């Protein structure tokens, strides 16, 4: 039983009641909070499900991707790889995670690169990405299982946490091995094709060269035989004339002397003789006859020279290398062209200036070299006459051909043939040695002269033939040939 007074008891009960009300209130609050928690939990559960769905989706995308997808940490160790990576390198995902490329057995060349083979290296790219760069490497070789080498087209980006600090890198590589191989094969077949085309072009050029050499050599050889035949035929009667001319001269001189004696001793001949002397203009005849004989002698000497030149020029023994006096060849060509230097009515006489050096005998194919001199000299004369020049300028007023020869070192000689004609443009100059290139009217030039000359000098004589010219400044052809040929050759 309580010994409290009723008042005290009432106060106590009131207090108790208040406490109970507080507890009830707390209980309601708790109930409300619990309700809120429940709701929050439902939302969270929904979010979680969504997140799981998304994460599943991401995993599926990563796993099913045919591209290589991987994430590496700051120490280049794999945090994530997809099946494509694992299958390609022949390991399980678990075996790969936590290891770097070297630990997975990748060679140092692939990891650190090889400039000679144009391999940048995984690590080189990784370092750049982990320092904040985004990279694209279109040629990223990666070794696969069974020794297969994949060529990947790789893109790598840095991954940052919420504070913006880089903690890893994401890599996506596409296998472009087949494309690359196809490109390589295409390149190879292109190179082969180009090579083949070059070979064919070269063969075609050779054929053209041989063809034109054959034409020219055939022409020259039959011309040479003809010329040599004519020279021989002329030589026989010429020997008669030149052999008898001194006798004829002596006999005529004797007869004239005798005639003088008659005139001194018989100053008054009979009428018949006197009349006949007047008819035949004896005084003039006596003075003119010696002049006539000497002019016949000059004529035969000139024929003799021409015949000699024809012989030198035709050189039937041209298939052998022979020590040759180059100046004889040039002189014989000039002699044969004499008619063109002198007798063109519409142009002045062409002056030929020779500046011959002291040349040794040159080992060469003399017939061929003479052909070169002839071609260049004819071109020079044509140029001085204005033949084949594309403008309407008149021929040169003081036409000159300047020929000089010199030993340029102990092994080579130089022959320069220059004219003061109208020269040629850069385009023409580039093409003068091309076969069948001619600016001359049809029938005047075949365009083979310089082409053949070029072959003769460069290929048959291991020398060089160059053309120096500019419009209005004439043209100079410079021949350089060795004094001695090292390897024995035979001409066509």
Ligand X SMILES: Nc1ncnc2c1ncn2[C@@H]1O[C@H](COP(=O)(O)OP(=O)(O)OP(=O)(O)O)[C@@H](O)[C@H]1O
- Catalog residues that contact ligand X under the rule CB under 6 A: 375, 379-380, 383, 388, 419, 421, 423-424, 428, 432, 437-440, 445-451, 475
Contact between 421 and Mg ion per CB under 5 A: no
Partner interacting with residue 83 (select from Mg ion, ligand X, none; CB below 5-8 Å by kind) = none
Partner interacting with residue 438 (select from ligand X, Mg ion, none; CB below 5-8 Å by kind) = ligand X
Q: State the CB neighbour count (10 A cutoff) for residue 26.
A: 10
Closest to Mg ion by CB, 144 vs 447, is: 447
Partner interacting with residue 471 (select from ligand X, Mg ion, none; CB below 5-8 Å by kind) = none
CB of 422 to ligand X, least distance (A): 7
Select from 236-244, 304-312, 444-452, 482-490 the region that touches Mg ion (CB under 5 A).
444-452
CB of 289 to ligand X, least distance (A): 46
CB of 449 to Mg ion, least distance (A): 3
Closest to ligand X by CB, 42 vs 348, is: 348
Partner interacting with residue 432 (select from ligand X, Mg ion, none; CB below 5-8 Å by kind) = ligand X
CA-to-CA distance for 350 and 17, rounded, in angstroms?
149
CB of 395 to ligand X, least distance (A): 12
Closest to Mg ion by CB, 379 vs 460, is: 379
Q: Which of 305, 302, 461, 469 is CA-nearest to residue 379? A: 469
CA-to-CA distance for 325 and 415, rounded, in angstroms?
13
Backbone angles phi, psi at 261, to 5 degrees: -60, -45
CA angle 59, 62, 67 (to 5 degrees): 170
Closest to ligand X by CB, 158 vs 463, is: 463
Partner interacting with residue 87 (select from ligand X, Mg ion, none; CB below 5-8 Å by kind) = none
Closest to Mg ion by CB, 121 vs 449, is: 449
Count of residues in contact with Mg ion, rule CB under 5 A: 2
CB of 459 to ligand X, least distance (A): 16
Contact between 449 and Mg ion per CB under 5 A: yes
Q: State the CB neighbour count (10 A cutoff) for residue 116.
A: 6
CB of 391 to Mg ion, least distance (A): 19
Partner interacting with residue 383 (select from Mg ion, ligand X, none; CB below 5-8 Å by kind) = ligand X
DSSP-derived secondary structure letter, 167: E
CB of 443 to Mg ion, least distance (A): 13
CA-to-CA distance for 423 and 427, rounded, in angstroms?
12
* 3-class SS of residue 316: coil
Q: State the CB neighbour count (10 A cutoff) for residue 121.
A: 21
Contact between 435 and Mg ion per CB under 5 A: no
Closest to Mg ion by CB, 331 vs 379, is: 379
- Non-local (6+) Cβ contacts of 108 within 8 A are 102
Closest to ligand X by CB, 335 vs 467, is: 467
SS3 readout for 118-159:
CECCHHHHHHHHHCCCCEEEEEEEEECHHHCEEEEEEEEEEE
Q: Exposed (0-12), middle (13-18) or buried (19+): which is 275, by Cβ within 10 Å? A: exposed
Which residue minimizes CB distance to ligand X? 449
Q: Which of 175, 169, 90 is CA-nearest to residue 139? A: 175
Instruction: Give the footprint of Mg ion on residues 354-383 (CB under 5 A).
Output: 379
CB of 400 to ligand X, least distance (A): 12
Beta bridge partners of 390: none
Closest to ligand X by CB, 310 vs 450, is: 450
* 3-class SS of residue 322: strand
CB of 375 to Mg ion, least distance (A): 5
Q: Are 474 and 397 in contact (CB under 8 A)?
A: no
CA-to-CA distance for 193 and 39, rounded, in angstroms?
76
Closest to ligand X by CB, 126 vs 385, is: 385
Binding site for Mg ion (CB under 5 A): 379, 449
């Amino acid at each position: 039983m309580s010994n409290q007074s009723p008042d005290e008891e009432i106060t106590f009960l009131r207090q108790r009641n208040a406490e109970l009300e507080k507890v009830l209130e707390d209980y309601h609050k708790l109930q409300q909070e619990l309700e809120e928690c429940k709701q929050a939990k439902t939302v969270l559960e929904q979010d979680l499900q969504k997140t799981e769905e998304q994460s599943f989706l991401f995993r599926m995308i990563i796993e099913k991707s045919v591209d290589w997808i991987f994430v590496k940490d700051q120490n280049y160790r794999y945090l994530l790889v997809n099946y494509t990576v694992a299958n390609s390198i022949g390991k399980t995902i678990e075996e790969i995670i936590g290891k770097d490329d070297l630990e997975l057995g990748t060679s140092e060349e692939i990891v650190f690169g090889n400039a000679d083979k144009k391999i940048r290296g995984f690590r080189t790219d990784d370092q750049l990405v982990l320092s904040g760069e985004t990279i694209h490497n279109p040629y990223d070789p990666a070794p696969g299982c069974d020794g297969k080498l994949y060529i990947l087209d790789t893109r790598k980006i840095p991954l940052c946490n919420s504070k913006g600090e880089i903690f890893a890198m994401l890599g996506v590589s596409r296998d472009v091995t087949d494309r690359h191989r196809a490109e390589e094969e295409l390149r190879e077949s292109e190179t082969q094709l180009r090579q083949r085309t070059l070979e064919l072009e070269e063969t075609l050029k050779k054929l053209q060269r041989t063809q034109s050499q054959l034409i020219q050599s055939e022409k020259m050889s039959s011309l040479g035989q003809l010329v040599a035949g004519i020279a021989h035929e002329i030589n026989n009667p010429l020997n008669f004339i030149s052999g008898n001319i001194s006798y004829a001269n002596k006999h005529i001189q004797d007869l004239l002397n005798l005639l003088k004696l008659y005139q001194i001793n018989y100053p008054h001949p009979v009428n018949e003789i006197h009349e006949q002397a007047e008819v035949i203009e004896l005084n003039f005849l006596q003075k003119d006859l010696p002049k006539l004989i000497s002019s016949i002698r000059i004529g035969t000497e000139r024929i003799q020279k021409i015949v000699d030149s024809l012989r030198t020029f035709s050189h039937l023994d041209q298939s052998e290398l022979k020590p040759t006096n180059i100046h004889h060849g040039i002189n014989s060509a000039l002699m044969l062209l004499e008619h063109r230097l002198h007798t063109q009515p519409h142009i002045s006489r062409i002056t030929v200036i020779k500046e011959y050096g002291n040349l040794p005998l040159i080992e060469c194919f003399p017939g061929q070299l003479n052909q070169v001199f002839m071609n260049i000299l004819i071109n020079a004369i044509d140029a001085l006459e204005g033949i084949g020049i594309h403008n309407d300028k008149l021929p040169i007023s003081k036409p000159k051909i300047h020929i000089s020869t010199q030993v340029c070192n102990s092994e080579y000689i130089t022959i320069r043939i220059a004219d003061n004609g109208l020269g040629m443009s850069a385009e023409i100059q580039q093409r003068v040695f091309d076969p069948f290139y001619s600016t001359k009217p049809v029938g005047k030039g075949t365009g083979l002269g310089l082409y053949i000359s070029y072959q003769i000098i460069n290929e048959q004589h291991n020398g060089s033939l160059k053309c120096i010219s500019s419009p209005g400044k004439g043209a100079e052809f410079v021949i350089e040939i060795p004094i001695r040929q090292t390897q024995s050759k035979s001409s066509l």
